[in-house]
Structure 1
Amino acid sequence: MADSPVIQTLKSRIEGYQPQTIAGDYPDAAVVVAISDDAKPGVLLTQRSPHLSLHAGEIAFPGGKQDEDDYDLLHTAVREMEEEVGIPAEHFTCLGALDQRITRTKIRMTPYLGVVPAELEFNINYGELDSAFYVPIDQLLSGKLFSVVDVLDQGITKRVARFQFEQYDVWGVTAMVLADVLNELLDAGLPVETRRGASS
């Protein structure tokens, strides 16, 4: 393994991390926040097909809704990763869970942070995705890709993260999970509130 300083920091910080959970009767989904094991690691993102019924065309982490056959949410996340981008589950080294978040479609999403070999080639399922790509973490940490967007949610204006990488516009819950990782585990200091205060 390349074990870059970024990956070393993620490994050490996640050990003491207590992921926040969200109570309530929500459908569950899970995603992988996969970091390439490279001297200059990147985080894996996908662009969803414009033909999908939910989140069409959006930038997202590999993942999806929990199936009845999934024995836990990590299994959901790695199964979906394999189905979407062709990375076998055994190549994902899970470091730990991150804070749960509720998507705008009212799904409870659990992200799992982990590492994948840098040299793996994607086998993209074009029925679900248009593309898959890595965003270099050093660019995310620089703050140059970052901005804050005001979003009206049920009459309340919320400030949420946004990242613009090349032609890809990363916003919504995906951008907030990215900001969680960058601020809480890598001390990025991005000007957006990441952790939600007390666990719910």
Structure 2
Amino acid sequence: MSGTISKLTNPSAQLTMYSRQSPMRPLSRHWLTQRFSLSPAFHYDNKVIQRAKDAMKRQADAEYRPAAVAIALAERNGELQVLLTKRAMHLKHHPGQISFPGGKVENTDTDIVETAIREMEEEIGVTAKREDLLGTLAPLPTVSGYLVTPVIMFVDADYHPVIDSNEVDSLFEVPLAQFLRRDAITKQPFLVRGNTYHIYAMCFEQHLIWGVTAQILHALSQQLSLN
């Protein structure tokens, strides 16, 4: 799943850049397991939720379709890395956007966790076991009509990706600590279909991370905030 706005005029040019802060100390699997279990859940921005509800009112099918994304974390040298994908450029919806591996729930999936695990393996060839599950964030409704559940899981740092070129252009990693920096993910004005919206976004190296992906990462970062 990816950012929910399909038409965006030159997003990289619109993003307000910020000065980099000193990187935080590395975040380990042990640290995250303790921190996540002791942290109260963080609720999504009410304006984001309302936009999704308003969009659903304009659709003939007023029911959200359940979906899941995998927040996959690999630990290297005591530091957790978040796996992110760049969607294939030929896709009809959200081409080239940064997203988590994920997709809609299939009838054969036993639960939302299986959906996330299956989609990750299908898209990037990375596997996970249920015992490596950390937990989930609250489901997030999107303007495209999905109710997306982020599933947080650990994966082997020595994974060997197998990219499905029909869905994914590339796979890359970002240190989890990058998302937890103060004001790393901020609301930015985006011009969408002639209207200006304030949408969560951040830049990492050459990548623009925005929309649903940034909204989920912002919620996770607020839940784990060290500030």
Task: State the TM-score bracket (shorter-chain normalisation).
Answer: 0.7 to 0.9
Task: Give yes or no for contact 2:103–2:116 (8 Å, CA) kept in 1.
Answer: yes
Q: How high is the TM-score relative to the length of structure 2?
A: 0.70
Greater shift, 18-27 or 44-53, is seen at 18-27
Aligned-partner Cα distance in 1 for 2:208–2:130:
28
The equivalent position to 1:142 in structure 2, one of 181, 184, 190, is 181
What is the Cα deviation at residue 147 of structure 1? 3.5
Spell out the pairing of 1:7-156 with structure 2 (5 A cutoff).
Answer: 7-16=29-38, 17-18=40-41, 25-38=63-76, 39-90=78-129, 93-143=132-182, 145-150=184-189
1:141 is aligned with what amino acid? L
Q: Which has the higher contact order (CA 8 A, sep 6+)?
A: 2
Residue correspondences, number: 185
What is the Cα deviation at residue 140 of structure 1? 2.5
What is the Cα deviation at residue 48 of structure 1? 0.6
RMSD: 3.0
- Residue 22 of structure 2 corresponds to which residue in structure 1? none
- Residue 192 of structure 1 corresponds to which residue in structure 2? none
1:28 is aligned with what amino acid? P
- Residue 18 of structure 2 corresponds to which residue in structure 1? none
1:187 aligns with 2:209: no
Aligned-partner Cα distance in 1 for 2:167–2:175:
24
Runs of 4+ with deviation above 6 angstroms = 19-24
1:25 is aligned with what amino acid? E
Which sections of structure 1, spanning at least 5 residues, go unmatched?
190-200
Q: How high is the TM-score relative to the length of structure 1?
A: 0.79
Task: Give yes or no for contact 1:19–1:100 (8 Å, CA) kept in 2.
Answer: no
Which has the larger Rg? 2
Residues 73/166 of structure 1: CA separation in 2 closer, same or farther (3 Å cut): same
Task: Give yes or no for contact 1:91–1:117 (8 Å, CA) kept in 2.
Answer: no
